[in-house]
Amino acid sequence: MDKSTMFSNSMLSIIVPIYNSEDYLDNCIRSLLNQTYKNTEIILIDDGSTDSSYEICKKFAAVDKRIRLFQKNNGGPASAKNLGLEFAKGDYITFVDSDDEVDLETYEQNLSFFENIIDLDIVQFPCHFKYKSPQQYISNPRESLIQGLDSIIREWLDKKSINWILCNKIFKKEIIERHKFPEDMVYEDNFLLAEILSKTHQIKISEFGLYKYYLRAHSITNSPHTANKEISLERVNVRIFDLLRDQKSPINLQLEFLNKILHNHISLVKTFKQTKTNNIDNYFKRYSISSILRSNLSISIKLKFIFIKLNGINKLLRLYK
């Protein structure tokens, strides 16, 4: 079968949240319009930009009917992506940040996996992180088919072959349409990915294609350290911790994320004078001192965990105030 017609009846929805991206938007949209896979809808969501981003989008929408352009008041990237999901008509869905680009054969090469693998939920393709910067590197795990939630969790959190971003993944619509991005937090992608992977049966790790992830000065990663960022990280880690416990995952992984929760919370108390305490004591009650000692955590973390078990989280937090 001709490769170009293999998926002619399956539409891919490409959701692009946009906010003040006038310097990069032209290259981003061209990389999507010029994809070798043509049965796409490109959903551009202008999230209240104050620069010329909307005018740039209108220029492209006027000459290519695959572009669907929406404009809304500024509500953040999560609300823009949720609006895109609401209007997406495709059989498959992917996301692109408005300051990034995608290699031209990426979607054609990777959509074919859905036709050839029964009950496939997600395809992940390579990502060039911090593209064209001194810190650039390519994430390209070995091609594999990961089946079953336990294996997915191990490959995601332990072996790291499933990475944390959404933009280098294509989702079957059914696996993502019942989810919404949380609009009251930073790192909404990470939180949603935890939700999606907890319902995923199979994910294909592909060696084809490339997502070009630029490092921008205004990105969340480079933005100032804030209490909201720490609270969001804590929410992500709590969600993952709950997932690990529900699936009876290895104790070492559970304790690793319990330590991340604790680290976030200490940072909130020490740096931002946060006084509200999460239910961390209840988390520690689930683990015996012997299981903590047998774990592969460092000695200092083991001692901190045992201190909390014996004295409670509030006594430890008083040491940081």
> Residues 219-238: what's their mean pLDDT?
81
- CA dihedral (205, 206, 207, 212) positive or negative: negative
Record the pTM.
0.92
Mean pLDDT of the chain: 92
> Residues 297-308: what's their mean pLDDT?
95
> Residues 185-211: what's their mean pLDDT?
95
> Residues 288-310: what's their mean pLDDT?
95
Contact 198, 147 (CB under 8 A): no
> Residues 30-48: what's their mean pLDDT?
98
Helix (H) / strand (E) containing 90: none
Cα separations in angstroms, 71 against 90, 193, 273, 274: 20, 26, 38, 37
pLDDT tens figures, 44-73: 999 999 999 999 999 999 999 999 999 999
Contact 209, 124 (CB under 8 A): no
Walk me through the domains of the chain, giving residue ranges and CATH numbers. 3-214 (3.90.550.10), 227-318 (no CATH)
Q: 2 versus 29: which is more confidently predicted?
A: 29
- The Cα–Cα gap between 66 and 54 comes to 17
- The Cα–Cα gap between 312 and 12 comes to 51
- List the beta strands (DSSP E) in 154-279: 169-172, 202-205, 211-214
pLDDT tens figures, 112-166: 999 999 999 999 999 999 999 999 999 999 999 999 999 999 999 989 999 999 9
pLDDT tens figures, 240-251: 999 999 989 999
Structure tokens at 190: 């990470």
Indicate whether 321 pLDDT > 50: yes
- CA dihedral (234, 236, 237, 243) positive or negative: positive
Indicate whether 34 pLDDT > 70: yes
- What does DSSP say about strands 127-131 and 211-214: parallel, antiparallel, or unpaired? parallel
- The Cα–Cα gap between 174 and 188 comes to 20
Indicate whether 4 pLDDT > 70: no
Indicate whether 179 pLDDT > 50: yes
Please state, for a pLDDT cut of 90, what percent of the chain lies above it.
81
Which residues touch 280 (CB under 8 Å, ≥6 apart)?
261, 262, 265, 308, 313
DSSP letter at 158 equals: I
Contact 259, 297 (CB under 8 A): yes
Contact 57, 25 (CB under 8 A): yes
> Residues 87-115: what's their mean pLDDT?
97
Which residues touch 35 (CB under 8 Å, ≥6 apart)?
102, 104, 105, 106, 107, 108
